[in-house]
Amino acid sequence: MATDIEIAFPSLSANDISALRKFGSEIPVAEGRMLFAEGDRDFCFFVILEGEVEIYETSRGQPHRVVIHGAGEFTGDVDMLSGRAALVNAKVVKPGRVISLSADALRQVVGELPELSEKLLKAFLMRRALLVKSGFEGMRIIGSRFNPDAHRIRDFANRNAIPYTWIDLEVDPQAESVLREFGIPASDTPVVIGPEGQLLKKPSNAAVGEMIGLTAHLDRSEIYDFVVVGAGPAGLAAAVYAASEGLRVQTFDSVAGGGQAGTSSRIENYLGFPTGISGAELAINAMLQAQKFGAHITVPANVTRLRAEGGDRIVEFDDGTSVRCRCVLVATGMEYRRIDVDRLQEFEGAGVYYAATEMEARLCGGEEVVVVGGGNSAGQATVYLSKYARKVHVVIRGTDLGKSMSRYLVERIETLPNVIIHRESHVVSVDGDRRLQSLQIAKPSGETLTVAATGLFIFIGAVPHTDWLKGCLQLDKKGFVLTGQSLPPESLQSSSWKSVARAPMFLETSLPGVFAAGDARSGSVKRVASAVGEGSMSVSFVHAHIGKL
């Protein structure tokens, strides 16, 4: 089996090189020439024919060598395809010749040459993983582990694979000296310090994304065929199919690609992954696949409104900008409900969580945690957390764990010695000083049990992300988007329906040319596979709508 280093830094065969030649041009390179530098965007991909190229990074203040590429090797990592800014530098240290391909040409290669594409994509993914493991510091986030904003920023960085160093005010002796160096009081934290010393106090995700070169620069004057709002499984599937079928598609997400699935510790029932796949891995693979087909995914971009202007659809953002398009896919999913307990929000991100990823699990390592809910998400979280926590208490309202949880999960939970099920019970209070330290569970006997829990994981149903559609689309009582035959007949009497002179298609909403897929859609099955299926399917409806315009 190939080692991580062999996967990250493979040599190209003579056939691979001659295939790549057709997409780029051969150029001589002198010693000392910078092929690209940290912060560059849309930098080229280079295949070394002769000579040597050093890759180095300066995140720790001093240059650190990552690798030296020799003849037959190539530069680049995941940011080549995403259009994000480079994290490392590439300098010619021994003169020679290289083949240079633009980022667009590389995307074409990845789309047209599947075998070579697999080698490149695997190398790119592994390079990023090795870079992070090697001590690459990236931006620095300084804050308290109990501060919800600090949790939000770290979650944003994790989910977007932005390397960072976390300096915890609670335990890290470095924290105070760094804050003193910058003259920042602890009350101004969390702060983010960028690679060039840029300082952001309590920043929004958008500000962090802009600083780190994550935010794509978009041509707002273009009229897109298709705008996808939400880059969860439904949105990413739509982006993949739309881009591969030649539509001009643009995808926006307020946080990160992957959606809820990206926060799942392990998805075990998605077809094709017999041993399961982590949400983070599924998300990054799906993002790469979409980008390989030329889809553009803009993160973070928070959509606040949708409106129609004649046959065009206008999607508006919280920064006051907008884009114009022919069709829109609503793929904004949903989020889990809160429990009705005083002070809950005070501890959100500081002990109260709605997802159980590695980050939350590590924070609760060796402690007691409580999982509320009896569905599959609660079940998966329980299994996962049981590996980290000393004890996992599962609180369900009913008597039967198998009522809404898959059998395989129930069976697994029943074999876990550190899991305790509290039936017909509910959490009645949470307590702590700046972070969750304990909570109380009301039992059917009338007794109240106090648990010294540092983690409360809530998985009890969901609220759709559809506020931005109110007044524009027909929603059901719970706020999910109505489509196709579920639409009330009176919603089809508008002039826009008269002008298209047809009935709504299966995923079409009350506004022609606007479709909904995945968890945000009323009546959908709330699963990765169905979101992917609906997202893919929506593209054929887009073709049908545009074809008739």
Ligand X SMILES: Cc1cc2nc3c(=O)[nH]c(=O)nc-3n(C[C@H](O)[C@H](O)[C@H](O)COP(=O)(O)OP(=O)(O)OC[C@H]3O[C@@H](n4cnc5c(N)ncnc54)[C@H](O)[C@@H]3O)c2cc1C
Report the interface residues with ligand X, using CB under 6 A. 229-235, 252-255, 259-261, 263-264, 267-270, 302-303, 331-334, 355, 377, 380, 465, 468, 518-520, 526-529, 531
For the CB of residue 175, give the shortest distance to ligand X in the complex, in Å. Answer: 30
Least gap, CB of 260 to ligand X (angstroms) = 4
Sheet holding 391-395: strands in order across? Answer: 352-353, 453-458, 368-372, 391-395, 419-422
Please say which residue, 24 or 333, places its beta carbon nearer to ligand X. Answer: 333
Which amino acid type is present at position 219?
D
CB of 36 to ligand X, least distance (A): 30
Q: Which is nearer to ligand X, 334 or 401 (CB)?
A: 334
- Burial tier of 56 (Cβ tally within 10 Å: 0-12, 13-18, 19+): middle
CB of 225 to ligand X, least distance (A): 19
Distance from first CA to last CA of the chain, Å, rounded?
54
The answer to whether the peptide bond before residue 512 is cis (omega within 30 degrees of 0) is no
Residue 424 CB, nearest distance to ligand X (Å)?
24
Least distance from C-beta 303 to ligand X, angstroms? 4
Q: Of the two residues 131 and 507, which places its CB atom closer to ligand X in the complex? A: 507
Reduce the DSSP state of residue 162 to 3 states and report it: coil
Residue 195: which of 365, 61, 328, 355 has the closest Cα? 61
**What is the dihedral sign for C-alpha 381, 383, 384, 385?**
positive
For 396-442, strand residue ranges (E) read: 419-422, 426-432, 436-442
Give CA–CA dist 544/22, Å, rounded.
36
In the complex with ligand X, which residue's Cβ is closer, 48 or 267?
267
Nearest to 468 by CA among 455, 458, 456, 481: 481
Which is closer to ligand X, CB of 189 or CB of 538?
A: 538
Residue 230 C-beta: closest distance to ligand X, Å? 3
CA 69 to chain centre: 31
Name the residue nearer to ligand X (CB basis): 192 or 231. 231
Smaller CB separation from ligand X, 36 or 468? 468
**Please, what is the minimum distance in Å from the beta carbon of residue 233 to ligand X?**
4
> Helix H segments across 364-512?
376-385, 407-414, 495-500
Q: Which residue is nearest to ligand X (CB)?
A: 333
| Residue with Cβ nearer ligand X (54 or 519) | 519
Q: What is the number of other CB atoms lying within 10 angstroms of the CB of residue 301?
A: 25
